[in-house]
Structures are given as structure tokens and as C-alpha cells.
Amino acid sequence: MRQFCRFVTILILFTACYSTERNCKPFQTGSFSFYTVVDGDTLSSRFVRNDSIEIDYFAGIADTANVRWVSDCECIVTKRNPLTFQEAKSVQMKILSTFEDGYVFEYSLVGDRSNVQRGRVTRVLD
């Protein structure tokens, strides 16, 4: 029993020291590709973000949104010209981890934490 307690203590110490990298500031501007899985299909789009404005290109259609950064790693995205009531709802995005050329994030409608999705973004070099 004593060895088990030591093992658990050492395990907790090693796992508590691990944290994912979150250097979010470099990803607040630039050109990116976005990948996510919806109903078993992998969807991708391209977007350009300039601090407070984001232009998304999906299926040949450009869509502009306002971006408000709540913190270095969290923002609220609101479409500028929504066509439906559903499109008018803001989306909350939170960067979970970063790597050299992209990040993994989660997103949901503001106030609706019951349907949180995850995606991966990769920086596109122009």
C-alpha cells in the first residue's frame, strides 16, 4: 500500500508539471486554413484575420465577420451581414493549444456550452 501511494504521488507530480503550449498572440492576424469534422465529413475553409475583422472563404463564398478578442486566446466572432437568425448568433472561440504553424481550438455559440466543437487551424503562407 505504501509503494502504491508513492507511485500515485510521483505520477501526480509528473503530470501536474505538463502544460500545453499556448502562444496565441501570433495567430490573431494572418491567413489560415480551418479543418473540422461534421457528421463524419472533413470540411475545410480558408480565412484571413486582421485583428478585428475576419474574412472567411467557404465553397467559393466570402463572408465577413467582426472579431472581438476577450483575451490573447479567446475571441467572439459575429457575422457582419447575417442572412438568417442562426447566422446572427455570435460564436465564441478558445485556442486550446498552439504549435509552430497553427492551433487547436474549441468553438460554440455564445451561451451554448452544450454543443462545443473542436477544430484545427493551420497558417497559410501567401
Residue in this structure with the C-alpha cell 452544450, named with its chain if needed: 114
**pTM for the whole thing?**
0.77
Mean pLDDT of the 2-25 span:
62
Specify the pLDDT at position 60. 86
**According to the model, what pLDDT value does residue 24 have?**
94
- Structural domains of the chain sorted by starting position, each given as residue range(s) with its CATH number in brackets: 20-123 (2.40.128.490)
b/e for 18-38, b at 16 or more Cβ within 10 A? eeeeeebeebbeeebebebee
The whole-number pLDDT of residue 41 equals 85
**Residue type, position 105, single letter:** F
